[in-house]
Amino acid sequence: MSDTADPRLLRAPPKKGIRLSWTDERLRGIVWQLLVVGLVGGIIWWLVSNTAHNLEVRRIATGWGFLNREAGLPIGESLIDYNPTNTYSRALLVGVLNTLKVAVVGIILATILGTLIGIARLSKNWLLSRLAATYIEVIRDLPLLLQLLFWYVILQGLPAPRQSLNPMTGVFLSNRGLKLPWVQWQDAHSFALLGLVAGIVATFLYARSARAKRMTDGQPRKVWPVGLGLILGLPLLIWAALGAPWQGDIPALRGFNFQGGLTVTPEYFALLLGLVTYTAGFIAEIVRAGIQSVPQGQWEAAEALGLQRGRIMRQIVLPQALRVIIPPMTSQYLNLTKNSSLAVAIGYQDIVSISNTTLNQTGQAIEGIAIIMAVYLCISLSISLFMNWYNARIALVER
Amino acid sequence: MSDTAAEATVPRPAQESAIGPRRPPLLAVGPVAWARANLFSSWLSTAVTLALIYLIVRWAMGFVDWAFVNAIWSVPVVNGQAQTQACRALNGAGACWAVVTEKHRFMLFGTYPYEEHWRPALCVLLFIGLYIVSAMRRFWRKELAYIWIGTLTLIGVLMWGGVFGLSYVPQERWGGLVITLILATFGIALAFPLSILVALGRRSRLPAIKALCVLYVELIRGVPLISLLFMASVMFPLFLPEGINIDKLLRAQVAIILFAAAYLAEVVRGGLQALPRGQYEAADALGLSYWQKTGFIILPQALRLVIPPLVNTFIGMFKDTSLVLIIGIFDLLTAGKTAIIEPAWQGFGIEIYVTIGLIYFIFCFAMSRYSQGLEAELNRHRVR
């Protein structure tokens, strides 16, 4: 409270001491809280003391010392260098990266597929709309785990490498997974990738400044030529400047298996397929509801102003629809990430699978489960924070 | 075609209308007009329609061939060994439904004693009856809680036995569809009261209680169900005093209850928030205590508001019970997966998963249709 105010006007409410009577609301509140906190604390203390006793009786080691021991567990696919002689912490890191690999790719693909199906659901073509509706209904009414097992069985039922399906040159589909042609990765490619990222950032900044300038003088400025130059031209220029290396890496059958090329393992492929098709069913409904939430009058008013259809969609309808779409979309992204833990059922080595093996090998159940929970809580929290920030940015600014 | 169609919709000269009202041109009403508006409205739409019809017909013909025409429905069994050579000879050209014919008892009831299968079968019927009764609005009264308690007790008696001349069947032998229904139904039935308490706690003015509830809900919702199930399977035994051993199924059930309660609590909280403030204030003005206010004024209205999302959460829980496969509990999906481990039936996973999918689909589809209908009905007063 400010010191300058007239003290006579700022009279504090009469101070009431807490009466020791059950009719006093504050006293009741304090008693209730003490009771509940005491009860919960008591239960937790009881569980912890039981656990400590059990651990002692069963001679189970505790603590995080095992993280620096040799893991000795083989991991099929890894984004970083790994071999079984590495430590448990390295193995767990591989697991986290594998989880992120499937979650990030899954979120992107599910968003694209879901949006397409959501738009198809709204199509004026009856057949297309019904087909999308059927897809949504069927996919949402089947357990994800069942779908994953189903896809995995189908992928395992594919022919052996020698008789693999070969839809186009360099692409092979067999029970060893999907083989794709790739380039032999060199430094130039990494720099070109950096250039791409820099180009996207620069385009974004340019678009912002163009809009700011337009606000002052009213002149529209074309963003796309500059954007195209930055996003496509910059990486190409870097790549060409570094000698334009282009060495194809095309998979070829040698003996009983393939050599070279990019491999998508059946486990990863089945998991990704299951997660993307499942989550897309939910995203489609969200997108449909979001677009339908924009009143028809908005379209009509924008048409009356003489705006083109694409422009109406981009500048009138989408910004309003996104406000409805973003919050449920966030929870779908979270769901997809958490559902990626089902990988353990089909043998994709994500963090759950590796933690599970770790806890079986070391017998340290509490630490193993704590790692799983901590990783997912971190991922969930980061996605929530990012989406909340994005949501706040696009939220309706009211007076 | 489009030329003649365009001519047909052009109105005729005016003198004919003096004769009396004419029927609209044939092409402006009826199935042809409908097809023109909904399937062939533009060249793009026509192309999409034709492409889709082609794909659907091709897929449907392939599916019918696989599932019915070339399918094998039963195989001879010699000395308890199924002779699956005929199925293998199909080489994927047709379904081998024989695996389902042979294993359906196992998928539905697991390793429950064969001659006692009527007991889990009756339980499945009781569950379905319970769902139907709960779905009828005429039963949305306090008595419904008693119906639930009564039916669930009856199901427990039937499954365990040991009384009324029923032989005792230990929990390890339960399995199949009935486990799925038990996990889902008991999960919801016990999570629901807990979730109401948590939702009320989260809206409480008492900071310690609110903090506890927020922590519980956010913690559970931030981790996958699998981690809780792992916890149930490997950590719960450590939590309990020495000598006390809880059955694995019960541990998984506890994990599912704790998980479901966090999600249900958020749904219930939505209902509590949707209620106008005036209701709370009016109840306070009448001098009702907190529990009177909550029990008589707030909850009856708030819960009614959230019935459709509650049903949706139940569908989610019903599907999520399949995750117990990972900790080795014998539910419908695990039973199916186990059925094809037997060497004779290896490689017929698709048939098994399609059948299991059908069972899940029937349950979930019925519930989701019901929830949609209910939502429309409850919202009818809002639509003008």
Taking the Cβ of residue B235 and every Cβ of chain A, the question of whether any pair is shorter than 8 Å is answered with yes
Q: Do the chains contact at B38 and A125, CB–CB below 8 Å?
A: yes
A304 and A378 part of one domain: yes
Looking at the domain assignment, is residue A271 inside a domain?
A: yes
Looking at the domain assignment, is residue B98 inside a domain?
A: no
Considering only CB atoms, B231 lies closest to which of A124, A344, A369, namely A369
Looking at the domain assignment, is residue B383 inside a domain?
A: no
Domain span at residue A125 reads 88-177+263-394
Q: How far is CA B174 from CA A392, B109, B121, B177, in A?
A: 50, 7, 12, 10
ipTM of the prediction? 0.85
Residues with Cβ within 8 Å of B211's Cβ and at least 6 positions away in sequence, in order, are none
A327 membership: H or E segment, kind and range: helix A318-339
A242 and A383 part of one domain: no
A190 and A173 part of one domain: no
B161 and B290 part of one domain: no
Q: Do the chains contact at A141 and B361, CB–CB below 8 Å?
A: yes
B122 and B210 part of one domain: no
A268 and A372 part of one domain: yes
Which of A40, A44, A127 is best to mutate for the B interface (most B CBs within 10 A)?
A127
Q: How far is B218 from chain A (nearest CA, A)?
A: 9
Domain span at residue B41 reads 23-69
Spatial contact of A355 and A369, defined as CB atoms under 8 Å apart: yes
pLDDT value, residue B4: 47
pTM of the model: 0.84
Q: Do the chains contact at A140 and B364, CB–CB below 8 Å?
A: yes
Q: What is the pLDDT of residues B337-380, one digit of tens each?
A: 888 888 778 778 888 899 999 999 999 999 988 888 888 887 77
B269 and B312 part of one domain: yes
Nearest CA in chain A to B363: A141
Q: How far is B370 from chain A (nearest CA, A)?
A: 13
Helix, strand, or coil (residue B158): helix
B323 and B187 part of one domain: yes
Alpha carbon distance A190, A338 (integer Å): 31
B141 and B39 part of one domain: no
Residues with Cβ within 8 Å of B104's Cβ and at least 6 positions away in sequence, in order, are none
Taking the Cβ of residue B51 and every Cβ of chain A, the question of whether any pair is shorter than 8 Å is answered with no
pLDDT value, residue A316: 87
Q: Do the chains contact at B240 and A157, CB–CB below 8 Å?
A: no
Taking the Cβ of residue B291 and every Cβ of chain A, the question of whether any pair is shorter than 8 Å is answered with no
Q: Which amino acid is at A125?
A: N
Looking at the domain assignment, is residue B317 inside a domain?
A: yes
Looking at the domain assignment, is residue B162 inside a domain?
A: yes
Nearest to B203, CA basis, from B280, B288, B257, B256: B280
What residues of A are in contact with residue B353 (Cβ under 8 Å)? 146, 149-150, 153
Helical H segments across B275-342, by residue range: 277-285, 290-292, 299-305, 307-320, 332-339
Alpha carbon distance B127, B106 (integer Å): 19
Q: What string of pLDDT tens digits covers the 384 residues of chain B?
A: 444 444 445 555 555 556 778 777 777 777 888 888 888 888 888 888 999 999 999 999 988 888 888 777 877 777 767 777 777 777 777 788 878 888 888 888 888 888 888 888 899 999 999 988 888 888 877 788 888 899 998 988 888 887 777 788 888 888 888 899 999 999 988 999 999 999 999 888 888 899 999 899 989 988 999 999 988 888 888 888 877 777 888 899 999 999 999 999 999 998 888 888 899 899 999 989 888 999 998 888 888 888 888 888 889 999 999 999 988 888 889 888 888 888 778 778 888 899 999 999 999 999 988 888 888 887 776 554
Looking at the domain assignment, is residue B93 inside a domain?
A: no
Spatial contact of B238 and A51, defined as CB atoms under 8 Å apart: yes
Q: How far is B242 from chain A (nearest CA, A)?
A: 7
Q: What is the pLDDT of residues B208-239, one digit of tens each?
A: 899 999 899 989 988 999 999 988 888 888 88
Q: How many CB pairs under 8 A join A and B?
A: 152
pLDDT value, residue B359: 93
pLDDT value, residue A377: 92
Q: Do the chains contact at B49 and A128, CB–CB below 8 Å?
A: yes
Looking at the domain assignment, is residue A24 inside a domain?
A: no
What residues of B are in contact with residue A36 (Cβ under 8 Å)? 208-209, 212
B125 and B269 part of one domain: no
pLDDT value, residue A96: 92
* CATH code of the domain covering residue B311: 1.10.3720.10
Which of B50, B57, B219, B227 is best to mutate for the A interface (most A CBs within 10 A)?
B227
pLDDT value, residue B1: 41
Q: What is the pLDDT of residues B122-151, one digit of tens each?
A: 999 999 999 888 888 888 777 888 888 999
Taking the Cβ of residue B41 and every Cβ of chain A, the question of whether any pair is shorter than 8 Å is answered with yes
| Structural domains of chain B, count | 3
Q: What string of pLDDT tens digits covers the 399 residues of chain A?
A: 445 566 666 667 667 677 777 777 788 888 888 999 999 999 999 988 888 888 888 777 777 877 888 877 888 787 788 888 888 888 899 999 999 999 999 999 999 999 999 989 988 888 999 999 999 999 999 999 999 999 998 888 887 777 777 777 777 888 777 888 777 777 778 888 888 899 889 988 988 888 888 888 888 778 888 888 888 888 888 888 877 777 777 777 776 677 767 788 889 999 999 999 999 999 999 999 998 888 889 989 999 999 887 788 888 888 888 888 888 888 899 999 999 999 988 888 889 999 988 888 888 888 888 999 999 999 888 888 887 788 777 766 655
Helical H segments across A83-232, by residue range: 88-121, 126-140, 144-156, 187-217, 224-228
A196 and A154 part of one domain: no
What residues of B are in contact with residue A45 (Cβ under 8 Å)? none
B141 and B57 part of one domain: no
Spatial contact of A358 and A72, defined as CB atoms under 8 Å apart: no
What residues of B are in contact with residue A47 (Cβ under 8 Å)? 239
pLDDT value, residue B91: 73
